A and B are shown apart, each in its own frame.
Chain A
Amino acid sequence: DVKVTQSSRYLVKRTGEKVFLECVQDMDHENMFWYRQDPGLGLRLIYFSYDVKMKEKGDIPEGYSVSREKKERFSLILESASTNQTSMYLCASSPPTQAGGYTFGSGTRLTVV
């Protein structure tokens, strides 16, 4: 079964910490995405990447950065975690021609205290 795997289901971090969220896909997909999901706000796109070492800002990139050194891995980095970054983070991947046809991971629920 094809998969998008997020390294942690739950994380608790302190304000100011640097946080890494890892995502790996085994489908050889070119496109990878990071979303955050908050009650009442739905899913919002943080960053996406359509190729190794390529990245593009989504709708809410402030306070985040990403890294894609290998095709199968896309990392989300919170440079200095803040309480307003407490959220569910979802990674997704898709082939290049299937706009919106994502496969999502199970999510990482991050709490910043």
Chain B
Amino acid sequence: LAKTTQPISMDSYEGQEVNITCSHNNIATNDYITWYQQFPSQGPRFIIQGYKTKVTNEVASLFIPADRKSSTLSLPRVSLSDTAVYYCLVGGFETGGFKTIFGAGTRLFVKA
């Protein structure tokens, strides 16, 4: 089962690009990598998902190297409202059931 490791916290300033890396050395062939954002007293919100290489949507980019042992969430030009906890999830359906591992989360604090 792929364990994930993320930095506990990060600070940034408004307008900067923020990159949060998640390590998942034991990722399985069928596993996808998904990132979530969570504000206090709310459920996590889906940001982006990928399997390999690069994925981009309207809010973020996800970079996955060829060996897939890590992934980097990139948030362009963060604002104060991006202050939240960001979770990396590795998992998917495998023989024997559904396997997922959430990282412990990275608390991002964006300053003015």
Which A positions have Cβ atoms within 8 angstroms of B?
4, 31, 35, 40-45, 48, 50, 56-58, 90, 92, 98-107, 109
Contacts and interface: CB of A to CB of B under 8 A. Distances in A.
Contact of A100 (B42, B43, B100): B100
Interface of B: 30-34, 36, 41-46, 49, 87, 89-93, 97-98, 100, 102-105
A107 B103 contact: no
A35 B45 CA distance: 14
A102 B38 CA distance: 13
Contact of B43 (A48, A56, A90, A99): A90
Given A42-B103, A42-B105, A43-B87, A104 B98 contact: no
Judged by DSSP, the binding face of A is strand
Contacts of A50: 98
Contacts of B90: 100
B97 A100 contact: no
Contacts, number: 64
Given A43-B87, A100-B89, A90 B44 contact: yes
Contact of B42 (A44, A56, A106): A106
Nearest to B91: A100
A32 B36 CA distance: 17
B87 A107 contact: no
A24 B42 CA distance: 16
A48 B98 contact: yes
Contact of B46 (A57, A58, A101, A107): A101
Given A45-B98, A104-B45, A107-B41, 13 more contacts: A41-B104, A42-B103, A58-B98, A99-B91, A99-B92, A99-B93, A100-B32, A101-B32, A104-B36, A105-B43, A106-B41, A106-B42, A107-B42
Given A56-B98, A100-B32, A100-B49, A42 B87 contact: yes
